[in-house]
Structure 1
Amino acid sequence: MSTNQHGKSVISRQALSSYLDTFLNVSAFKDYAPNGLQVEGKGQVRTLVTGVTACQALIEQAIAVNADAILVHHGFFWKNEPEVITGMKYRRIKALMDHDISLFGYHLPLDAHHGIGNNAQLAYQLGILSPRVYEPVAQDLLWHGHLEHPVTATEFSQLLNNVLKREPLHIGDNSKPIATIAWCTGGAQDYIDQAAQMGVDAFISGEVSERTYHAAMEQGIHYFAAGHHATEQFGIKALGQHLASKFDLTHHFIDIVNPV
């Protein structure tokens, strides 16, 4: 790391990439998209933008603040998507390359990290005590813990609303209190069966399917669909703050509103 003529710290793209890959233990994960540097930009990074998804709106706002790199949870090149670079994908990548901005994406490694990961950060935001992974589920993706005091489903829905700024969908018996909780951020509604087997009172994830209703009702577990974007906003923000502190970078977390 070095300092430019204006006294701002600068880290090389390569050094930042190596640090992130090691810090997030990328080699331990089998994922649906490449983790790490996805689009190569300028060789030095002093201004970093973080956001949940590498959409056009995020890229345009990163350009506006003269970002050298963008770091996201949902990047590009997902399994089974078309391999050609046309249309929307072309426009996004062209904007990055025209402005020499690097794009880094970290998916499952960011979900699972025990300190700044999405699941760890959601537990912190909600005040869930003793958060820990559920070992039978691979890659540390399903977590569980407990609340300080039991609450009603209505009270817990309000907590989610206050923290995530989004009203959750609740499925379950309102008369049953909630003390123990399992969760997995994003599109993990099908972990509800493992959560029920754990014997917890409630399960939180981002999305919901038609089958989720029946799984929750028949197994007697509360389910809260709290939003894919909403449940995954805290990990990438925490990661950006960590990098800004460690390397003295300028950091902007940019939240592109997404109701899903």
Structure 2
Amino acid sequence: MNTSSPVTRQALLGALDGLLQPEQFRDYGPNGLQVEGCGEVTRLVSGVTASLALIDAAIAAGADAILVHHGLFWRGQDGRVTGWMKQRLSRLLAHDINLYSYHLPLDAHPELGNNAQLAQRLGVERLAGEAGRFGEQSLGLLGERRSGSAAELARHVEQTLGRSVTLVAEPDRAIERVALCTGGAQSYFEAAIAAGADVFITGEISEPQAHYARECGVAYIACGHHASERYGAQAVGARVAADLGLQHLFIDIDNPA
């Protein structure tokens, strides 16, 4: 990491909010600054989830702030600060580290978001304008990638992400139009079908989706929640750090889910 000058906690928040525009989304928890730490930030660590392992790694890296996709607070959760919540919060507070979290805004950013970054790595060319969006709050990405078969595309996803995937499809099915929504977006499958997709790529698969795939003839590739969402926080962290002159480090805490 290079030498840099500190920026205020609020300046970093303003840069992240300006880039990701969280006010445009109905989300499952608070976006933005979730835990207040020191007033000035020099080193920013990005990661997928605000786990204890990531927090400890950020402390070891000398971070003043952490940017994640999955924060600490979610709608409907138990509000008591005990167990794992106490452990995570106590580490952040003891080391005066700011925690910034963006959920749906970080999925949806058209260039740096999880969906756009995964599509770029898989060679999926997004359709222009509104034709390139589908699903609730237009979070899903629709694009094109010619593949010899569903099996060939599944192998390509495995090689790109470095992990095995679940494919539900006739292996020889030709693929051109790709619908993609990272993480736990199983519920977007029917919208992907309605949008004319040949394949839906997401992180997870639930029992009903396998039946839908077989009955509708649309391929389904589940490539892991964590694996599909490793790229958005990394890209946003790098962009904001470059704009503000901060040091930035992405830390990937492996997760088999």
| 8 Å Cα contact 2:47-2:54 kept in structure 1 | yes
Report the 3-state secondary structure (helix = DSSP H, G, I; strand = E; otherwise coil) of the residue aligned with 1:170: strand
Distance 1:237 1:76, change over 3 A: same
Q: Relative to structure 2, which stretch is displaced further, 191-200 or 130-139?
A: 130-139
State, as a whole percentage, how many aligned pairs show the same letter.
46
Q: Give the structure 2 partner of residue 223 of structure 1.
A: 220
Question: Following TM superposition, by how much is the alpha carbon of 1:130 offset from its aligned partner in structure 2, in angstroms?
Answer: 2.8
Q: Give the structure 2 partner of residue 52 of structure 1.
A: 48
Q: For CA contacts below 8 A with separation 6 or more, give which structure has more relative contact order.
A: 2
Q: Deviations over 1:88-131 (max 9, x none)?
A: 00110000000000000000000011110111111111111134
Which of 62, 66, 84 aligns to 1:66? It is 62
Q: Deviations over 1:205-231 (max 9, x none)?
A: 101101111011111000000111111
**Aligned AA (2:109):** H
Q: Show structure 1 runs of 5+ residues with no match.
A: 1-5
User: How far apart, CA to CA, are the structure 2 residues paired with 1:53 and 1:10?
Assistant: 24
- Structure 1 position 256 matched with structure 2 position 253: yes
Question: Following TM superposition, by how much is the alpha carbon of 1:77 offset from its aligned partner in structure 2, in angstroms?
Answer: 1.1
Pairing of 1:172-251 with structure 2 (within 5 A): 172-251=169-248
Distance 1:213 1:88, change over 3 A: same
Cα RMSD of the aligned pairs, angstroms, is: 1.4
Q: Give the structure 1 partner of residue 139 of structure 2.
A: 141
**Aligned AA (1:221):** V
- Structure 1 position 115 matched with structure 2 position 111: yes
Q: Show structure 2 runs of 5+ residues with no match.
A: none
User: How far apart, CA to CA, are the structure 2 residues paired with 1:43 and 1:120?
Assistant: 32
Q: Deviations over 1:119-153 (max 9, x none)?
A: 11111111111345555533231111101x33212
Report the 3-state secondary structure (helix = DSSP H, G, I; strand = E; otherwise coil) of the residue aligned with 2:53: helix
Q: Deviations over 1:32-56 (max 9, x none)?
A: 0100000000000100000000000
Q: Relative to structure 2, which stretch is displaced further, 128-137 or 160-169?
A: 128-137
Q: Deviations over 1:46-83 (max 9, x none)?
A: 00000000000000000001100000000011011101
Deviating 4+ runs (over 6 angstroms) = none
Q: Give the structure 1 partner of residue 75 of structure 2.
A: 79
**Aligned AA (1:140):** S
User: How far apart, CA to CA, are the structure 2 residues paired with 1:135 and 1:41?
Assistant: 37
User: How far apart, CA to CA, are the structure 2 residues paired with 1:139 and 1:91?
Assistant: 34
- Structure 1 position 37 matched with structure 2 position 33: yes
| 8 Å Cα contact 1:202-1:223 kept in structure 2 | yes
User: How far apart, CA to CA, are the structure 1 residues paired with 2:23 and 2:184?
Assistant: 22
User: How far apart, CA to CA, are the structure 2 residues paired with 1:142 and 1:8?
Assistant: 37
